[in-house]
Structure 1
Amino acid sequence: MKQTDEEYLESHFKEFEVQTFYTESFTSLEELVETFVEVNNQQESEDLDAFIDLLICMLHVDGEKRITPAQILEQPFISGISINILNPLTSDEIKDILPRKYSFIKLQATGQFGQVFKCESKHNQKVHSFKLPYSHHNMEKEAQLLRRMMCKGLEDQHIVQCMAFIKTRLGKAFIYENLDMNLTQFMATNCPLTLGDVRSIVQQTATALKSLKCMRVIHTEVTLDHVWLCAQTARLEVKLTDFQSSIHSKSAEPGMKLQNVNYRIIL
């Protein structure tokens, strides 16, 4: 027996209760997040805070306070640099820590494990970039890996050349070759990059990663901040730096979260 439309609907669909939803009003993004978002760990909480800060800077109603696309690259959520860096040193404090045979030139970058700055040797006037750790970070693991790489001559494979190590009251500092700026800083003033520059950067970075693969080393933190341009070179030349988070391939396990979340490929 054929049912009418009304009979079919009555037999197949139950009557739905009508519910009323109330939209709460919020005075800020932070208040909205605190009300509805649950975080599971400290890292996720820091990432969320950095993301909210980025949104506020991007959406500011005052055009003078709103950040530009170039400045977005420098924001902690995009750059991957922790927003909780503990007590970075001032230029005067760095000068006080440096051995007397070096003259401080300028601070170049502040990262999660330490700071990079440029100095000149008073003995031969050669310019080098220094990496100085924060007092709470032990850099011995990275120092040992750099020694191995320099013994294999990997500075010719676009791995940063570490000239020497010096002791400071904050720990072991690294003396690098003369570096100019990292890719974050370079792209902030040179966007968009030419295809030729993109090709050079990709080729050289891939060469560095290939050399690490031969050593069975995983960098785990390849970001724009850890690829640096060499200073005073006729062509665009980059070097891969910062191996503090590197691991041996035999230590890698499925499911490990290694790469900074902002640069991670999700498959």
Structure 2
Amino acid sequence: FTIKKCEKNHQKGFILLGRKGVYKVEKFLGEGSYGKVAKCKKLGTDQVVAIKIIWGSGQMEINALEELSQINADDHNLVKFVESFKYKKYTCIAFEVLDQSLLDFMEKRDFHPLTVEEIRTIAWQLIVALKGLKSVNLVHCDIKLDNIMLVDQVSEPFRVKLIDFGLAEKIGHMRTGATMQNICYRAPEVILGLPLDQSVDLWTVGYILFVLYTGSFIHGWDDVWKLDTPQQQSKKKGRLVEDNIPFWSCDQLIHSCLDKTKIKEVEQFVDLLKRMLMVDPSKRISPSEALQHPFFTMGRVQPTAGTHTTNPEEPPAVEVHLQPEAKEVTNTPQRPAAVSQECSSMKKKPGRIQQQRETIREHLVTPLNPPPQPNPSKAHPSIWPLTARSVPPNPRRKSSVKIPLHCVEKSVTKIRSKTGAALQSVG
């Protein structure tokens, strides 16, 4: 079976006869070693589906989809299965039409990293999907950026669904030493030929979250990549190899965070990553435990789109905050107790602010026959009891910067001194 043969037999406008309807091929959406995916319209209706045209039986995927039909696909962020049927020697599987893969999305933006808020939204949905798979004793075994689809990035930003269950296996039927997963996403127990279970999917999702945050893969991501040293790679390529980011520990992600208002969020994210990327699968966090992690429960977590569920074990959805809450800068000097007390009394007496304005006006706006000016060096230090005035907030950040009291007093004293000297010279 070749792509050319598929193109020859399945052109635009080609008719596929299914069990639940007749489908007309409108265009091809993608292709792979398995065959092609076509966008089709169900004749007599407005329904549009994506039909995966496979050379071979495709029975493993059909069996997995039938198992998944026991749970609600939308509630668990899984692609919605429509039907399967045979056409000549091809197996056709019809699904709902989705927008684009996460790989295509990241490539369009040159793998520019996503924000913590965006990653949180995606992470929650993927872990809910894994919990759904576990409820029917399935392991995906081939989670990767290609198999995570954005539903509709325009109307539902970062709502995702898991697709492609062609390699899915029953928990307990996974053969020790079996080769599975793309080498880039492969869990340690798969590489080492150890017993396997659903934790291989947790590892892969954790790795994907790392890639989304850094915009980089830790190592090569094709099947011919070898575990060579940098020197060996350089010798083969004839140049210094710097394809990978310098990375030694997940804690580096915390230190590399430039937005100090998000340090706590990044710390929680890194902690979740560490738990998902435990080398020992028996110590790896489970989907249920991951959904209760502080990264999701710290007050601004669960996305409302695509995560509604009838499962009573699921925590209730919480409003998503796309922007971090404003946080006040904490490195400003502390006010003396007396000054703070005076500020609080000013808030209770609005009229006093006007009195202070009059006092300032007396010193800055001098009459035609000015009275003798006091020595600026002996000026009362509390001539401006407003202590610290907030700078107008910068629209690019929520936090406000405050001017220390001593700076304000020094500026006012300097202005008074210059004004008095100037008026005396005029007089």
Match of 2:70 in 1: 151
Are 1:98 and 2:16 counterparts?
yes
Q: Could you report, residue by residue, the CA deviation over 1:165-190 in whole angstroms, capped at 9, with x for unpaired residues?
A: 23212333111112111112111113
2:87 aligns with: 168
Contact 2:15 2:24 in 1 (8 A): no
1:254, distance to aligned residue in structure 2 (A): 4.1
Match of 1:263 among 175, 181, 185: 185
1:115 is aligned, of 30, 36, 42, to 36
Deviation sequence 1:183-215 (CA, Å, 0-9, x none):
121111133243233222222112111111222
Give the CA deviation at 1:219: 1.0
SS at match of 1:106: strand
Distance 1:260 1:97 in 2: 34
| C-alpha RMSD of matched pairs (Å) | 2.4
Whether the aligned pair in 2 keeps the contact of 1:108 and 1:116 (CA below 8 Å) is: yes
Query: Residues 147-173 of structure 1, C-alpha deviation per residue, up to 9 Å, x if partnerless?
Result: 221232234201110012232123331
- State whether structure 2 residue 99 is matched by structure 1 residue 180: yes
Distance 1:123 1:224, change over 3 A: same
The aligned counterpart of 1:241 is 163
Task: Give the total of aligned pairs.
Answer: 181
Aligned partner of 1:131: which letter?
K
User: 1:206-225 maps to which residues of 2 (within 5 A)?
Assistant: 206-225=127-146
How far residue 126 of structure 1 moved from its aligned partner, in angstroms, is: 1.9
Secondary structure at the aligned position of 1:159 is classed as coil
Q: Against the structure 1 CA distance between its residues 259 and 200, is the aligned structure 2 distance closer, same or farther, given a 3 Å change threshold?
A: same
Q: 2:118 aligns with which of 197, 204, 211?
A: 197
Q: Secondary structure at the match of 1:154?
A: coil
* Equivalent residues of 1:91, 1:107 under 8 A apart: no
3-state SS of the aligned residue for 2:133?
A: helix
The answer to whether the 8 A contact 2:139-2:171 is kept is yes
The alpha-carbon distance between structure 1 residues 166 and 193, as it changes in their structure 2 partners (threshold 3 A), is farther
The separation in 2 between residues aligned to 1:94 and 1:203, in whole angstroms, is 39
| 1:235 to partner: Cα distance | 3.1
TM-score by length of 2: 0.39
Q: Could you give the per-residue CA deviations for residues 73-120 of structure 1, whole angstroms, max 9, x where no partner exists?
A: xxxxxxxxxxxx843522872443634943323222212323222122
When residues 169 and 92 of structure 1 are mapped into structure 2, their CA distance, relative to the original with a 3 A threshold, is closer
Q: Could you say which residue in structure 2 is the equivalent of 1:60?
A: none
Inter-CA distance 250–93: structure 2 relative to 1 (3 Å threshold): same
Residue type matched to 2:64 in 1?
L
Contact 2:71-2:132 at 8 Å conserved across structures: no
| Distance (Å, rounded) in 2 between the aligned partners of 1:246 and 1:124 | 32
Q: Would the aligned equivalents of 2:30 and 2:37 in 1 still touch at CA under 8 Å?
A: yes
Displacement after TM superposition at 1:240 (Å): 0.8
Return closer, same or farther for 1:128/1:233 CA change in 2, 3 Å cut-off: farther
User: Hey, which of these two has a bigger chunk of strand by percent?
Assistant: 1
Tell whether 2:133 aligns with 1:133: no
- Flag the 1:103–1:233 CA change in 2: closer, same or farther, 3 A: farther
Q: Which runs of 5+ in 1 are unaligned?
A: 1-84
Contact kept in structure 2, 1:101 and 1:121, CA below 8 Å: yes
Q: Give SS of 2:172's match.
A: helix
- How do 1:35-74 and structure 2 match up within 5 A? none
Distance 2:8 2:79 in 1: 24
Q: Report the CA distance shift for 1:188/1:214 in structure 2 as closer, same or farther (over 3 A).
A: same
User: Alpha carbons of 1:193 and 1:90: their partners in 2 closer, same or farther (altered >3 Å)?
Assistant: farther
Alpha-carbon offset, residue 123 of structure 1? 1.4
Q: Distance in 1 between matches of 2:98 and 2:10?
A: 21
| Stretch moving more, 154-163 or 228-237 | 228-237
Alpha-carbon distance between aligned partners in 1 of 2:106 and 2:149, rounded to the nearest angstrom: 11
Matched, 1:87 2:9: no
Say if 1:145 and 1:226 are closer, same or farther in 2 by CA, change over 3 A: same
Q: Is the 8 A contact 1:97 1:169 kept in 2?
A: no
The question of whether the paired residues in 1 share the 8 Å contact of 2:143 and 2:181 is answered with: yes
2:150: which partner in 1?
Answer: 229
Structure 2 gap ranges (5+): 189-278, 280-427
Distance 1:217 1:166 in 2: 23
* Cα pair 1:102 1:121 within 8 Å, conserved: yes
* Structure with bigger gyration radius: 2
